């Protein structure tokens, strides 16, 4: 009989005994998918020629890890059923010769590459959906379920997907704890304000306020402008600053500060202060919605009236 090497799943001793926690800020569906895929991997790592006791031992060990991580008996049973069904299907395909249990990277490489490319564009259309809508993860997916019901009542085929929440680790750590605020270049329009704003910050909601004194030598208060930009705050502020300080009168008239400068500062452009109200990384919709809410609630005097009395619209020069 030919000698054979049997293999089994191995875990390093220093590896964490926990899996993704039941109470982590991730959609429950995503947690189940992650755990199912992990358990399938463990089943595959145990050779089919090994004894049933060996495979059972590895599965029970993973079940204990799930128990330590807060998953109920029902959760663990559901994950095991999913993993067992997927593993049995993989074994069946292997025995039929349609797909090997242990594939090489060259096996149907071209077809797999095309399939992967199509999934990126059409992944949400598998269930007949025509669009996708992302929401924040909430306990037991309450927000996602409410959105699904609303879309269903409206007759819209929209797939609702929960976003992964931010971990405590990312909230507490910094990639560069000694990073200085701003570029500190003397000619930088943002850094010269000494507002503590990093000039390279992108995708922000900002407020520009008058920091000068009127003709009665009284400081201006509640004279501000609220805006949003997908670019860096330096790029956007440069455009405002260029209009305010332009030598041509026709260009200065395009500035939001023009009318106030004529009324309170004798036509001279006053000093300004800059503040970042919020940052919205990768979420243009939330940024624009926040701008509309701030304008409607605060009614900043330097914003045009049509910006808060009418439906908010996107400005061409702020794209």
140 and 76 share a domain? no
pLDDT higher than 60, residue 238: yes
d(CA 123, CA 199): 37
- Tell me if 258 sits within 8 A of 181, measured CB to CB: no
DSSP-derived 3-state class of residue 60: helix
State both tokens at 220.
């201006």
Over residues 252-268, mean pLDDT: 88
- 297 lies in the same domain as 207: yes
Give percent of the chain above pLDDT 90.
Answer: 50
Residues 159 and 82 in one domain: no
If asked whether residues 210 and 142 sit together in one domain, one would say no
Asked if the structure places residue 47 within a domain, the reply is yes
Whether 278 is covered by a domain: the verdict is: yes
CA distance linking residue 130 with residue 110, whole number of Å: 28
Sheet of 224-232: strands edge to edge? 224-232, 202-210, 272-279
Of 262, 266, 269, 265, residue with least CA distance to 247: 269
Residue 306 pLDDT grade (very low, low, confident, very high; cuts 50, 70, 90): low
> For residue 143, is it within any domain?
yes
State the average pLDDT for the chain: 87
Verify that 161 and 198 share a domain, yes or no.
Answer: no
Q: Is residue 117 part of a domain?
A: no
92 and 131 co-located in one domain: no
pLDDT at 170: 76
Query: Is the domain of 195 the same as that of 241?
Result: yes
Predicted local distance difference test score (pLDDT) of residue 305:
59
Q: Per-residue pLDDT tens for 29-72?
A: 899 999 999 999 999 999 999 999 999 999 999 999 999 999 99
d(CA 185, CA 40): 55
Supply the DSSP symbol for 139: G
- My answer on whether 45 and 146 are in the same domain is no
Total domains in the chain come to 3
Instruction: Check whether residue 244 and residue 294 sit in a common domain.
Output: yes
- pLDDT at res. 187: 85
Question: Is residue 132 in some structural domain?
Answer: yes
Do 195 and 161 share a structural domain? no
Q: Over 50: is that where the pLDDT of 318 sits?
A: no
Q: Tally Cβ neighbours within 10 Å of residue 66.
A: 21
Domain span at 61: 28-96
Of 12-16, 85-89, 293-297, highest mean pLDDT: 85-89
202 and 299, same domain (yes or no): yes
d(CA 104, CA 268): 72
Evaluate whether residue 154 is within a structural domain: yes
Domain boundary among 50, 74, 96: 96
Dihedrals phi, psi of 267, to nearest 5 degrees: 90, -10
d(CA 244, CA 239): 9
H-helix or E-strand containing 80?
helix 73-96
In sequence order, which residues have a C-beta less than 8 Å from that of residue 107 and are 6 or more positions away? 100
The CA distance from 235 to 202, in Å, is 9
Please give the pLDDT value at position 76. Answer: 97
Indicate whether 158 and 213 sit together in one domain: no
> Distance between CA atoms of 152 and 155, rounded to whole angstroms?
5
What does the pLDDT read at residue 55?
92
Whether residue 109 is contained in a domain is answered as no
How do residues 138-185 score in pLDDT, each as one tens digit? Answer: 887 899 999 999 999 999 999 999 887 777 777 787 777 776 666 778
> Does 310 have pLDDT greater than 60?
no
The per-residue pLDDT for range 73-103, each reduced to its tens digit, is 999 999 999 999 999 999 999 999 999 999 8
pLDDT computed for residue 157 by the predictor: 92
**End position of a domain, from candidates 48, 78, 96:** 96
Q: Which of 53, 80, 96 is at the close of a domain? A: 96
45, part of any domain: yes
Regarding beta strands 202-210 and 272-279, do their DSSP bridges make them parallel or antiparallel, or are they unpaired? antiparallel
Cα 22 to Cα 234: distance, rounded to the nearest angstrom = 42
């Amino acid at each position: 009989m030919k000698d054979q090497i049997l293999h089994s799943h191995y875990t390093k001793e220093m590896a964490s005994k926990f899996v993704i926690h039941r109470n982590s800020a991730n959609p429950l569906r995503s947690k189940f998918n992650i755990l199912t895929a992990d358990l399938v991997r463990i089943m595959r790592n145990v050779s089919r020629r090994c004894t049933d006791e060996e495979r059972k031992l590895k599965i029970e060990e993973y079940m204990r890890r799930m128990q330590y991580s807060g998953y109920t008996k029902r959760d663990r049973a559901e994950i095991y059923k999913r993993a067992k069904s997927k593993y049995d299907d993989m074994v069946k395909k292997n025995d039929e010769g349609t797909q090997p249990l242990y594939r090489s990277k060259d096996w149907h490489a071209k077809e797999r590459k095309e399939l992967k490319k199509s999934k990126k564009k059409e992944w949400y259309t598998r269930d007949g959906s025509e669009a996708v809508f992302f929401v924040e993860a909430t306990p037991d997916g309450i927000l996602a379920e409410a959105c699904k019901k609303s879309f269903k009542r409206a007759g819209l085929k929209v797939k609702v997907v929960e976003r992964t929440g931010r971990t405590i680790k990312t909230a507490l750590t910094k990639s560069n704890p000694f990073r200085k605020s701003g570029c500190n270049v003397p000619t930088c329009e943002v850094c010269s304000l000494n507002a503590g704003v990093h000039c390279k910050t992108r995708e922000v909601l900002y407020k520009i306020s008058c920091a000068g004194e009127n003709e009665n030598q009284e400081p201006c208060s509640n004279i501000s402008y609220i805006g949003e930009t997908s670019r860096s705050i330096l790029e956007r502020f440069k455009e405002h600053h260029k209009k305010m300080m332009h030598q041509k009168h026709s260009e200065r008239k395009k500035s939001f500060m023009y009318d106030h400068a004529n009324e309170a500062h004798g036509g001279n452009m006053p000093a300004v202060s800059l503040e970042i109200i919020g940052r919205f990384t990768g979420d243009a919709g939330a940024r624009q919605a926040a701008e509309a809410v701030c304008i409607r609630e605060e009614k900043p005097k330097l914003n045009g009236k049509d910006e808060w009395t009418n439906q908010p619209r996107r400005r061409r020069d702020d794209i």
